[in-house]
Amino acid sequence: METVTTNGSDMLIDERRQHILALIQRDGRVLISELSQSLGISRITIRKDLDHLASMGLVHRTHGGALCVQRSALLDPTLREKEQKQSQEKQRIAAAAAAMVSEGMCVMLDSGTTTTAIARELRNFSRLTVITNAVNIASELAATGFEVILTGGTLRKNSFSLVGPLAEEALVSVRADVLFIGMDGFDPQAGLMTPNLLESRVNRAMVKAADRVVAVCDSTKFSRRSLALIVPTSAVHTVITDDEISDEDYQMLVSKGVEVLRV
């Protein structure tokens, strides 16, 4: 593993753990001794970081280090890569989401391919307010008569989303009737997850700003974990997914008081 110049002592705990996870994803493994030297922090701290990542199922802990596991669930694919997967399921989910919307409502959409499909369905309405942190979604709705509110922030090129303090602050002063939120992993026991910490913070602010939270995801997202928790399952009112969701995941969601729509 090549030496990095990052000073681990200057990082927040979550930042350091995301950095370590990124190294594991890139190289396939890490050694405690090398991480300690390259980050300038103690081996005890590195062990705690690796143990935490292992407890979330993100890495496989070994003597003296850790190995990469479930690589596809942890990476941060581009929007174009995501568009190639489960397109028919996403379209059915989008149609079901649009059926929950009425004229005059304020709808909030986070970034992602499923929420982009929802935005296209919403073009059948004539009078909506849409709040989003996704540049591509704002573009999709630019020709409508909607009031489109785009948060500020730093552009994440992988997802065309705006993140960071500016995006979070913009969401403090707004209120939406409904939020449609996607995710990279949804463990019914733990909650909604994403591989990016900055994205998780903006998503969390969106949840706080919405009267109703609707998670939209195809069935492949269930029982998958990623680095950053957005919100626990208890913060979600409704889940719209396809009919391939497992009975175990379905029953777990229902037991937690979540409405599940299978389309």
Q: Which of 42, 69, 96 represents a domain boundary (last residue)?
A: 69
Contact 224, 73 (CB under 8 A): yes
Q: In 3D, which of 32, 83, 81 has the Cα closest to residue 61? A: 32
Helix axes 13-27, 197-208, angle to 10 degrees: 130
Question: Is residue 74 in some structural domain?
Answer: no
Q: In 3D, which of 107, 199, 191, 125 has the Cα closest to residue 156? A: 199
Q: Average pLDDT for residues 4-19, to the nearest whole number?
A: 72
Q: What is the pLDDT of residue 4?
A: 39
My answer on whether 144 and 15 are in the same domain is no
Q: Which of 31, 49, 69 represents a domain boundary (last residue)?
A: 69
My answer on whether 194 and 89 are in the same domain is yes
Q: What is the pLDDT of residue 46?
A: 95
Q: What are phi and psi of 134, to 5 degrees?
A: -105, 120
Decide if pLDDT at 76 tops 60. no
* pTM beyond 0.85: no
Average pLDDT, the chain: 88
Question: Is residue 152 in some structural domain?
Answer: yes
Question: Is residue 147 in some structural domain?
Answer: yes
- pLDDT 10s digits, 191-233: 999 988 899 999 999 999 999 999 999 998 997 778 788 999 9
Domain containing 39: what range? Answer: 8-69
**What is the length of the chain?**
263
| Number of neighbours of residue 131 by Cβ within 10 angstroms | 24
Work out the pLDDT band at 77, boundaries 50, 70, 90.
low
Q: Which of 48, 69, 90 represents a domain boundary (last residue)?
A: 69
Work out the pLDDT band at 10, boundaries 50, 70, 90.
low
Q: Average pLDDT for residues 45-62, to the nearest whole number?
A: 88
Question: Is residue 2 in some structural domain?
Answer: no
- pLDDT 10s digits, 105-121: 999 999 999 999 999 99
My answer on whether 44 and 154 are in the same domain is no
Question: Is residue 192 in some structural domain?
Answer: yes
Q: Which structure tokens are listed for 118?
A: 């929802």
What CATH number is attached to the domain comprising 41? 1.10.10.10
Question: Is residue 1 in some structural domain?
Answer: no
Q: What is the pLDDT of residue 45?
A: 95
My answer on whether 90 and 48 are in the same domain is no
My answer on whether 115 and 211 are in the same domain is yes
What CATH number is attached to the domain comprising 186? 3.40.50.1360
The domain total for the chain is 2
Work out the pLDDT band at 31, boundaries 50, 70, 90.
very high
My answer on whether 106 and 12 are in the same domain is no
Decide if pLDDT at 87 tops 90. no
